[in-house]
Amino acid sequence: MAHLDLVALIVHDYDSAIDFFVRVLEFELIEDVPATTTDGRPKRWVVVRPVGGTTGILLARADGGEQESAVGRQFSGRVGLFLRVDDFDAAYARLVAAGVTFARTPRTEPFGKVAVFVDVAGNRWDLLGPRLDKAAAVRR
């Protein structure tokens, strides 16, 4: 059996990214250990993930101009990450209170409540509420 373990997200700075994911999004810091690049320069292996989740995000500090230019643009301006929460209204209110920028206000879609927010690196995420039951989604 296989599962998706990690997704890499290029960031400008490890510590500000850790702060955003742990303090603001309330993810767990799973790993933060020294490592080296393939050519021997120091870096860190930093993994965060939602509490109770199985797939984590590897926070990869940009290395060089090409990677710097990709920070916040890994999905070409589209939503590329999707965070599903049990209580949409509480999560939305908490993120607004924490100063998170929302690019789109909440709306209800056949798949549940959704609002688009921007992470510390500039990537767009969907904040998703619980899925609507299939019968309700078909009636819409």
pLDDT tens by residue, 50-60: 999 999 999 99
The C-alpha atoms of residue 105 and residue 39 are separated, in whole angstroms, by 44
Average of per-residue pLDDT across 123-137 = 83
Q: Specify the DSSP element, H or E, that contains 102.
A: strand 101-109
Pairwise pLDDT comparison (48 vs 1), residue with the higher score: 48
CB atoms within 10 A of CB 14: 15
Buried-exposed string 43-81: b where 16+ CB fall within 10 A, e elsewhere: ebebbbbbeeeeebbbbbbbeeeeeeeebbebeeeeeee
pLDDT tens by residue, 19-46: 999 999 999 999 999 999 999 999 999 9
Domains delineated in the chain: 1-71 (3.10.180.10), 74-140 (3.10.180.10)
Instruction: Name the pLDDT band for 133 (thresholds 50, 70, 90).
Output: confident
The CA angle 83-22-39, to the nearest 5 degrees, is: 100
pLDDT tens by residue, 42-79: 999 999 999 999 999 999 999 999 999 999 999 999 99
Please answer whether residues 102 and 110 qualify as being in contact, where contact means their C-beta atoms are separated by less than 8 angstroms. Answer: no
Please answer whether residues 59 and 21 qualify as being in contact, where contact means their C-beta atoms are separated by less than 8 angstroms. Answer: yes
Share of the chain above pLDDT 90, in %: 93
